[in-house]
Chains A and B, each alone.
Chain A
Amino acid sequence: MTDAALTAPKKHAANPRYGSMSRDRTWALRWSYFFLILFAIFFLLPPIYMLITSLKTSAEISAARNPWWVFNPTLENYRELLTSPQYLGYFRNSAIVSVVVVVITMLISVPAAFALSRMKFWGSSTLATGVFLTYLIPETLLFLPLFKMFALFNEWTGIQLINRWWVLLILYPTLTVPFCTWIMIGYFASIPKELDEAALIDGAGWMQTLTKIFIPVALPGLIAATIFAFTVSWAQFLYPLAFTTSTEQLVLPVGIITSLIKGDVFNWGQIMTGALLGAAPPLIIYAFLMDYYISGLTAGATKG
């Protein structure tokens, strides 16, 4: 329709009544582009500046020249970080934690969503609402009692949970499972009832109905939930900051902040490189699976 508006002025040049309306639209379009460019600059400035800084030597960073331009581009920062066992350790910890959390999340939330959307049991509707409410409880409310609980757990059983990277495997699902369950309930609920009735008549059990019918049909939802769980666990900052302290136990966001900043000395070239590489996995996933990413984003509020 907007395309038509663009070509309209030529067609209706002889007819001023329609002409003025299309001219309005052409101008609206020009203004839209103008403001979109302004907003795009605002939104993309920090990542671009990360890239600019990551290509500089420390000498150039502290020189009083134009900070928005790279005069002597170098990949030294990248080389240094990608060969540093410490940084690679953070990256590995982050990758393991995020992937395992995704698996745990799916194992918990997919069967639960199936049960809650299809097989009613006592209290199931209350539980569905409860799942949504837990999603609204922020981690900033829970980290102190959880910290104390884990300390007490150590006193009782002798199992140390604090300052172990795998404690994050227990903590992160509390952030990912409620939302994933919630959007999976939405996706499962949109599958027509006839489909699982047919499967039941053909003699499929509940597990078979779930794995052979629901999961394949709701695959887009499953991908969206997976992306959500991965990005949330990759980006989480408060839990690792509170629960892990030794260098070899840190994940990426905390690792960059605590180890690349030595005392008051900021090695900005390396910090920006580390941050950019740390932002890369979510950005790559987003670049390739944008539609799933966005459907997961909007599903939380529009579905259900």
Chain B
Amino acid sequence: MVDAVLQGVQTPGATRKRSSLRRTMQRKSTVAFLMALPLILMIAFLVIYPALYSLHLATLNKSMERFVGFGNFLFLFKRETFWKVVEQSCIFALTAVFFKAIIGFTVAHFVHNVPNDRQRKWRGMLLVPWVIPPAMSCLAWLWLFDPSYSAFNWVLGIFNIGPVPWTGDAFWARFSVILVNIWIGAPFFMIMYLAALKSVPDQLYEAAAIDGANWWQRIWYITLPMMRNIIAITALFSLIVTFANFDIVQILTQGGPIDLTHVFATWSFTLGIQGNDIPLGAAVSLFMVPILTVAAVFILRDITRRGNES
């Protein structure tokens, strides 16, 4: 039907045709299609086409003249750095999401405990890390982690601890990038959980309190089951964003020391843009697809299920 409409638009001519064209143009579905057309074109040319094109790119050699099939992938499998990147990406994403969820949940609970009129102020303050552009706040962290002037090490020095090589040593560099990611992402979880906490009816807690449930039982048997959906969907969203994260690692460590903090995004940038080997970089970035697909499928299932319920 849409094709027919398009042809109608392309071949205006005789008056008879023009009137039929006008009728087509006034038809609801045609108008709707035209209104959505910019969106469709944008998604087709700037999202779906590049996504498929990267599949093709990944099968070319460095100068992009010759088809090498799975050559790039086989080359990656043989490199130790690749496996380090896989390992670090998984550690980075899973640890960060886990702690973001825990911290977000805890903070949301504390904010929820505070009298209603003061919640706004606390919520406003605690969301600041999420509002500051990550590139800017990462610079602040980079300065806090500075090898010679680290303000953290100065504080630790008072207690005769350190100096801690925040971005210099493999373990601490991994710790630092995860810490910064938690700092940026936890407020988002806090906001989502706070909204969810508000939707749990007070009567449930009152009933539980009368039955003698302690705070832990109230959380375990009421809050968590009531919030299960929102916890899952926030964690999945965050998993996607964290797994594909670029800014934090690029600014704090640029993948170093000795490539040990590289995640897929930064390594594909290093190979593709800085190393000028676009096919290899595209091949690396494609390894994000499986985990993204799994998360997306779960999110979509949840959303369609809610759509059917309403």
Contacts and interface: CB of A to CB of B under 8 A. Distances in A.
A47 B138 CA distance: 10
B144 A141 contact: no
A177 interface: yes
Contacts, number: 304
Given A36-B107, A40-B122, A119-B31, A136 B292 contact: yes
A265 to B, nearest CB: 13
A142 interface: yes
Given A136-B240, A304-B303, A127 B272 contact: no
A254 B139 CA distance: 11
B49 to A, nearest CB: 8
A156 interface: no
B143 interface: yes
A144 B272 contact: yes
Contacts of A6: 115
Given A46-B137, A147-B272, A177 B42 contact: yes
User: What size tier do the contact residues of chain A reach?
Assistant: 35 or more
Nearest to A123: B2
B131 A140 contact: no
Contacts of A140: 244-246, 264-265, 268-269, 285, 288
B282 A145 contact: yes
A61 B149 contact: yes
B287 to A, nearest CB: 10
Interface stretch (A8-16, A79-87, A215-223, A294-302): A294-302
B300 A129 contact: yes
A137 B129 contact: no
A145 B114 CA distance: 49
A271 B140 CA distance: 9
Which secondary structure characterizes the binding site on chain B?
helix
B99 interface: no
A47 B140 contact: yes
A215 to B, nearest CB: 13
A62 B148 CA distance: 9
User: What size tier do the contact residues of chain B reach?
Assistant: 35 or more
A102 to B, nearest CB: 15
Contact of B32 (A42, A45, A120): A120
A112 B230 CA distance: 27
A32 B110 contact: yes
A134 interface: yes
Given A109-B39, A140-B264, A304-B303, A43 B237 contact: no
Contact of B151 (A21, A44, A68): A68
A115 interface: yes
A148 interface: yes
Given A237-B246, A272-B140, A141 B285 contact: yes
Interface string B105-121: 01101110111100010
Given A131-B43, A271-B139, A301-B237, A36 B28 contact: no
Contacts of A73: none
Nearest to A210: B35
B50 A293 contact: no
Contact of A294 (B51, B134, B191): B191
Given A142-B47, A271-B143, A272-B143, A21 B209 contact: yes
B204 interface: no
Given A40-B126, A149-B53, A275-B136, A108 B42 contact: yes
Interface of B: 1-2, 28-33, 35-36, 38-40, 42-43, 46-51, 53-54, 57, 64, 103, 106-107, 109-111, 113-116, 120, 122-137, 139-141, 143-144, 146, 149, 151, 154-155, 183, 186-188, 191-192, 195, 202, 209, 215, 230, 233-234, 237, 240-241, 244-247, 250-251, 264-265, 268-269, 272-273, 278, 281-282, 285-286, 288-289, 292, 295-296, 299-300, 303-304, 306-307
8 contacts: A36-B110, A50-B140, A53-B143, A114-B35, A140-B245, A143-B269, A235-B133, A286-B128
